[in-house]
Structures are given as C-alpha cells and as structure tokens.
A and B are shown apart, each in its own frame.
Chain A
Amino acid sequence: AQSVAQPEDQVNVAEGNPLTVKCTYSVSGNPYLFWYVQYPNRGLQFLLKYITGDNLVKGSYGFEAEFNKSQTSFHLKKPSALVSDSALYFCAVRDIGGNDYKLSFGAGTTVTVRA
C-alpha cells in the first residue's frame, strides 16, 4: 500500500521569509514523488517531481524539494515566499515497485503568505 502524509493543515509565513511544506510518504518499494499546487475552484498544477538522482529537485516558480530516503520525506521549500504563493499544496506518491499507475495524494496544506 502507498500513502502520503502532510502533517500540517496550514502554514503561515510572512512575505520574503522561507517557506516549507512538509510531506512524508509510505511505499513498499521505491517512490516517485510529486508536488502540486491548487488555486480556489481550480484543478491542480504540477510543480516538481523526484524520480531519481539528485535529492534536491528544482521546479516551477522558484520552488524546490528535498528527497530524504531515510526519513521518507519530500518537503517542499521556497527561499523567499510571495503573497501569490498563497494556495493549497498537495504531495503525491507513486510506488515504483509494480507496474501500477496508482497515484496517491496527501490531505493538502494551505499556505498563507502575509504581506
């Protein structure tokens, strides 16, 4: 079975401060990991993914994420947050183990960046 946990329902930061959104995962094999962002009443937009190789992945809009296998984590980060980063963020995982395309998401974290 595969699952994702986002331990924080909400993250609040001031504009210009670093932003971190936490994600931990559980898979039986090795993971493919993804981050998405959602704006109100819209679909999800892809930000970045970890497939293999460098543990630090860079993505859209200045976001990056660090894969940590020993801690089974894939935290999303941005060095300097903008008010426009306020949105709902989702982490997702797919287990590489079998030829199964199942893609599982976490509960989401609402990010609020105050001016």
Chain B
Amino acid sequence: DGGITQSPKYLFRKEGQNVTLSCEQNLNHDAMYWYRQDPGQGLRLIYYSQIVNDFQKGDIAEGYSVSREKKESFPLTVTSAQKNPTAFYLCASTTDGLNTEAFFGQGTRLTVV
C-alpha cells in the first residue's frame, strides 16, 4: 500500500540528547513537510522540502535539522538546542503542483524524560 510511514510511533529522549525521527513515503511525492503539534497551537511548520537536496525553514526551525538525500525520505533531527521538544510530530508529503493536498503519516510522539 502506498503511504507515509513515520517511525517510531513513540520515542523517549533524555535531556541533552539528539534524536532522529524517520519519515518515508512511497507515493513518489516531490514535496515533504515536518510539523509539530501541541495542544491549542495547531500544526506549526518546522521544515519543508520541495525537491531532493533542497529544503526550507518553516516557522519554528530553531533546534531542528533535516536532510533530503532521497526523494522518499525526509528525516528530522531534534537537537539538544530545542528547548521544549516534547510534542507530537507529523510528516506529510504532496505531489507536484501547488494545488495538491498533503498526505500525512500517523505521527511520532516524542517525550523528553
């Protein structure tokens, strides 16, 4: 089945550690996105990538990093510089064209312990 796979579903991290969230899609989509979801704040855009080897900062990129070495993969690293990383992280992708809707993964819940 085509879709977006985020792993792991739950992730625990100690303060001061970097952690990488995986996002893989087999939809042959060009654009990929990372969002952070906190209660009452909706979805805030962290990074997005329109094509391989290119990505742009979203609205809350500080403390995060990404790479886009392959079309199907867009991993997100939450660094120790992120002050409040506990959140629900969602990955999405869209096919070519500004009028296309996004497809979402099932999310990764990150908890800092």
Interface residues of A (CB under 8 A from B): 6, 9, 32, 34, 36, 41-46, 49, 51, 90, 92, 94, 96, 99-108
Contact = CB atoms under 8 A, between A and B. Distances in A.
B56 to A, nearest CB: 7
Contacts of A90: 42-43
A44 B104 contact: yes
Contacts of A94: 98
Interface stretch (B13-21, B33-41, B73-81): B33-41
Interface residues of B, number: 29
Contacts of B4: 43
Contact of A43 (B44, B107, B109): B107
Contacts of A43: 4, 90, 92, 104-107
19 contacts: A9-B40, A32-B98, A34-B101, A36-B102, A41-B109, A46-B101, A46-B103, A49-B99, A92-B102, A96-B98, A99-B98, A100-B50, A101-B31, A101-B98, A102-B45, A102-B56, A103-B92, A105-B44, A107-B42
A35 to B, nearest CB: 10
A43 B108 CA distance: 10
Contacts of B43: 44, 90, 105, 108
Across the A-B interface, the 7 shortest Cβ-Cβ residue pairs: A43-B104, A107-B42, A105-B43, A44-B104, A51-B99, A101-B31, A46-B101
Nearest to A91: B42
Contacts of A41: 88, 107, 109
A86 B45 CA distance: 25
Given A103-B48, A103-B92, A105-B35, 13 more contacts: A9-B40, A34-B102, A42-B106, A42-B107, A44-B43, A46-B103, A96-B98, A100-B50, A101-B31, A103-B45, A103-B94, A105-B43, A106-B42
A104 B45 contact: yes
B57 to A, nearest CB: 10
